[in-house]
Amino acid sequence: MTDRLHPSAVLAPAPDAVPEAAPAKMAVRDLDFWYGPKQVLKSISMEIQPNKVTAFIGPSGCGKSTLLRCLNRMNELIPEAHLEGEVLLDGQDIYGDADPVMVRRRIGMVFQKPNPFPKTIYQNVIWGAGVNGFKGDKDALVEKSLRQAALWDEVKDRLQENAYSLSGGQQQRLCIARTLAVEPDVVLMDEPASALDPIATAKLEETIIELKKRYTLIVVTHNMQQAARISDTTAFFYIGELIEMSQTDEMFTRPHHQRTEDYITGRFG
């Protein structure tokens, strides 16, 4: 990390709330998070608007991926993780008495590296629905999910082939289809394009923009141009704190904080 920044400057006042449009889909209240003794997130509060793409940006180690993984309780799978504060989905706490299995069905996740199951394309899409007790028309669900992920036309004649026969970009869109098949409310994406080439990335970005009609999306990205292209709202993190969160076009034209400006203009990070 850069040492041009004075440590005290990090303790900036909480950012202004994003202009209210609809009731927030998700909300984070005073979230603190530790891996063992190391505090990774410091009193994060934010609201996520429905049917929008929210981008999390910031330099490596700023906590953006950790926060994303707090939003569907994935961090619980790591021993020594400890969390305080609240995460709300439609006003309901997803921690406390909530069942993590239910939380993860409603808040899906797409990972950095395409990681399809070593099964057929069809089985990949239907598996999550199956374990959640889906009783409807499986073929229709597979087709709908693959269409939403803009993969249907490429794979409709080879649904019984192994998912590893697909290209990296196709695998990532298969992972999106797999996530959509359980009909989540929110889709979290952790640097979904970082393992893809520019053409596959462009296609993935189109898909993301298309998806916000039906879903609420939160995308972690290292790529600021990508955040500018796909997101409606952007949140900038630095060493475990939320520095600034505002409309994306505002953030990229008139950032409120010096550190945000330094980061998005490429002076560090």
Partner 1 sequence: MPPATPAVYSERLEHRRRFGVVMASLFFLATLLSLLVLVTLIVDVVVTGWSWLDADFLTSYPSRFAERAGIKSALVGSLWMIGLTALVAVPIGVASALYLEEYAARGWFFRLVQVNIANLAGVPSILYGMLGLALFVRFAGMGRSLLAGAFTMALLILPVIIISTQEALRALPQGLRESAFALGATRWQVIRSHLLPMAAPGILTGVILSLSRAIGETAPLIMIGALTFVAFLPQSVMDTFTVLPIQIFNWTARPQAEFHELAAAAIIVLLVLLMGMNLSAILLRNYFEKYRAQ
Residue 44 CB, shortest distance to partner 1, in Å, is 21
* Closest approach of partner 1 to the CB of residue 166, in Å: 13
End-to-end CA distance of the chain: 7
Separation CA 250–CA 232 (nearest Å): 10
Q: How far is the CB of 75 from partner 1 (least distance, A)?
A: 11
Using the minimum distance from each CB to partner 1, give the nearer residue, 112 or 223: 112
Helices and strands counted in the chain (H then E): 11, 10
Residues that bind partner 1 (CB under 8 A): 72, 74, 77, 79-80, 101-102, 104-106, 108-109, 111, 113, 115, 117-118, 127-128, 131-132, 162, 164, 175, 178-179, 182
CB of 170 to partner 1, least distance (A): 16
CB of 131 to partner 1, least distance (A): 5
17 vs 101, beta carbon nearer partner 1: 101
Residue pair 212/39 in contact (Cβ under 8 Å)? The answer is: no
Rg of the Cα trace of the chain?
19
* Amino acid (one-letter) located at 232: D
| Dist CA 239 CA 206 (whole Å) | 31
**What DSSP line would sit under 9-66, residue for residue?**
HHSPPPPPPPPP-S--SEEEEEEEEEETTEEEEEEEEEEE-TTSEEEEE-STTSSHHH
Q: Which is nearer to partner 1, 21 or 131 (CB)?
A: 131
Question: How, if at all, do strands 233-238 and 53-57 pair?
Answer: parallel
Q: Which of 63, 97, 84, 54 is nearest to 245 (CA)?
A: 54
Q: Do the strands 233-238 and 241-247 form a parallel or antiparallel pair, or are they unpaired?
A: antiparallel
Nearest residue to 201 via CA among 216, 215, 178, 221? 221
The nearer residue to partner 1, 54 or 123, going by C-beta atoms, is 123
**Quick one: 45 or 132, whose CB is closer to partner 1?**
132
User: What is the smallest separation between the CB atom of 242 and partner 1, expressed in angstroms?
Assistant: 23
Cβ proximity to partner 1, 106 vs 222, nearer residue: 106
- Residue closer to partner 1 by CB (options 113, 254) is 113
Q: 12: Cβ–Cβ under 8 A, 6 or more apart, which residues?
A: 241, 243, 257, 259
